[in-house]
Amino acid sequence: MASPLLANLYFRRFVRAWYEHGYYRLLDAHVVNYADDLVICCRPGNGAAALKIMQHLMTRLGLTVNQRKTRIACLPGESFDFLGYTVGRFYGKDGRAFIGTEPSRKAVKRIIERIHDETARRWNLETVGKRVDELNALLRGWSGYFNQGRVNRAYKVIQDHTESRLRRWMMRRRGMRGTGYCQYPNKYLYETLGLYKLPRRPSSVANAKA
Percent of the chain with pLDDT over 70: 92
Q: Is the pLDDT of residue 201 over 90?
A: no
Q: Is the pLDDT of residue 208 over 70?
A: no
Phi, psi of 200 (to 5 degrees): -80, 135
In this prediction the pTM is 0.85
Q: What is the pLDDT of residues 71-93, one digit of tens each?
A: 999 999 999 999 999 999 999 88
Q: What is the pLDDT of residues 123-150, one digit of tens each?
A: 999 999 999 999 999 999 999 999 999 9
Amino acid present at 80: F
Q: Is the pLDDT of residue 8 over 50?
A: yes
Q: What is the pLDDT of residues 24-72, one digit of tens each?
A: 999 999 999 887 789 999 999 999 999 999 999 999 988 888 888 899 9
